[in-house]
Structure 1
Amino acid sequence: MEFPVLKTKRLNLIEIKEEHVDHIFNIFSNKEVIKYYGMSPFTQNEQAKSIIKSFSKNFQEKCSIRWGIMLKETGEFVGTVGLNNLLLSSKRTEIGYDLSPEYWRKGIISEAVETVIRYCFEVLDLYRIGAVTFPENESSYKLLLKLGFKKEGLLRGYIYQNDKSNDAFVFSLIKSDWKT
């Protein structure tokens, strides 16, 4: 299966390859970026190489897709957006995203996520897209609500990070509620 490159007005969503290792390390080692990510910040480039390999392996196994977010204007790699727990036979997935802080509040994630949602419903023919956020991550869950996701509830002790189990909100967008 060929990796699906997606394009928006300002962005190219591309396959993440080993040549992007420094960008992935910079993003995933930033404490602000991964504050609500469910993992510890990267401390070594090897971790970035490893996660890139896992992105590729999981895509080949059709259980996830992770895109690099590149600005068309500058070619700069600024974040990632992807589908986790992709179950084509069950027509569902979960979406996640991250972005370098200098690009926060510029509509980049919104633009990327809208494009991935369209891909999910129109190309992959999925029925449900889920999302999980920390209750404290207000900007993330407000984005999901703006994009039409519905809050389904609280998952108690769902994400283990910083040596403790943390609660999480769960959201979903189903195809019949999606506004094209």
Structure 2
Amino acid sequence: MLTTIDLYQALPVLETERLRLRPVRTEDAADIYAYTKDEETARYVSWHAHKSLTDSEQFVEHILRQYEQGNPAPWAIEDKANGRVIGTIDFIKVSFEQQQAELGYALSRDYWGKGLMPEAAARLVQYGFETLGLERMQARCFVANDGSARVMEKIGMTFEGISRSALFVKERFWDLKIYAITRSDYEGK
């Protein structure tokens, strides 16, 4: 049985028509800073906007340590057209024992509204069911984050409800919408 350590120490490259999902590299820090410094991009995620390139360099170093230790860490979302890293996507939680994972993602505001996040998320869902053998994948978003909720719906996830005061970040508790897709949902689509 595949373990979390196996997955993250050898994170595979996944391709879509317009995107390449690949491990984050040291040289990605400037591209990551380009979108993580944007307050609007950081509005509905668990992290604060980066204040300097150093913040993004430290973030990249943290990701690389997570890979080395076999802990969950994101794929870089690379735009094939220009080679830039425009976001990240990951299984923020994965349990091979329970055959479940939770997706998380962030995308540069410059790329919103172009169908890129559903494209990346659909590829990760495909990988989860077809390669990892998962039974269920879920994603959560801040209640007010309509864009993220639309991504979840576009990839076949079903709204399951609202988890109240489910996340404490940015000095307060937040309610989260929960969406999920099961193997039978995926195979029946």
TM-score by length of 1: 0.91
**Residues 32 and 19 of structure 1: CA distance in aligned 2, closer, same or farther (over 3 Å):** same
| Distance in 2 (alpha carbons) for counterparts of 1:134 and 1:163 | 15
- Helix, strand or coil at the partner of 1:32: helix
Matched, 1:53 2:65: no
Q: Is 1:91 aligned with 2:99? A: yes
Gaps of 5+ in 1: none
Count residues in correspondence.
180
Aligned structure 1 segments of 4 or more residues deviating by more than 6 angstroms? none
TM-score, normalization: structure 2?
0.87
Residue 93 of structure 1 deviates from its aligned partner by 1.2
One-letter code of the match for 2:148?
A: S
CA distance in 2, matches of 1:63, 1:175: 24
Deviates further, 157-166 or 146-155 = 157-166
The reply to whether residue 37 of structure 1 matches residue 45 of structure 2 is yes
**Structure 1: distance between partners of 2:163 and 2:97:** 25
Match of 2:28 in 1: 20
Letter in 1 for 2:83: G
User: How far apart, in 1, do the equivalents of 2:69 and 2:181 lie?
Assistant: 24
Structure 2 residue runs without a partner (length 5+): 1-8
1:162-177 matches, cutoff 5 A:
162-177=170-185
In structure 1, the residue matched to 2:150 is: 142
Question: What's the counterpart of residue 109 of structure 1?
Answer: 117
CA contact (8 A) 1:63 1:85 kept: no
Maintained 8 Å contact 1:40/1:161: no
Quote how far apart the aligned CAs of 1:112 are.
Answer: 0.6
Residue 110 (structure 1) shift = 0.9
- Percent identity of the aligned residues? 26
CA contact (8 A) 1:63 1:84 kept: no
Query: 2:47, 2:11 → 1: CA distance?
Result: 26
